Amino acid sequence: MSEPPPIPNRKVDPAVETRQIERLRAVRARRDNARVAALLDRLETEAREPSVNLMPVTIQLVKARASMGEIVARRRQVFGAYVEKPVF
């Protein structure tokens, strides 16, 4: 049995990366950072309660211009990160 061909990694153009970083910095400069921080704290608190629906606070975070990275990082603090365990 031969090895399958490697899957090529997608390379991001450094100019695109730079542009996206600048856009994120601009959004963070314009948004209400105190509101985002308070909502992130609320997300973490509510995530610790299994019966609470996290969608409403997540929608508020998106509307407040929190980044996906900020939202995911706060959820990861509560739930951890999934690590696949090989079975063979």
Give the pLDDT confidence of 40-82 residue by residue, as tens digits: 999 999 999 999 999 999 999 999 999 999 999 999 999 999 9
- Is 14 domain-assigned? no
Q: Is the model's pLDDT at 1 over the cut of 90?
A: no
Range of the domain at 52: 32-79
- Is 4 domain-assigned? no
Give the pLDDT confidence of 16-39 residue by residue, as tens digits: 999 999 999 999 999 999 999 999
- Is 7 domain-assigned? no
- Is 18 domain-assigned? no
**Are 65 and 50 within 8 A, CB to CB?**
no
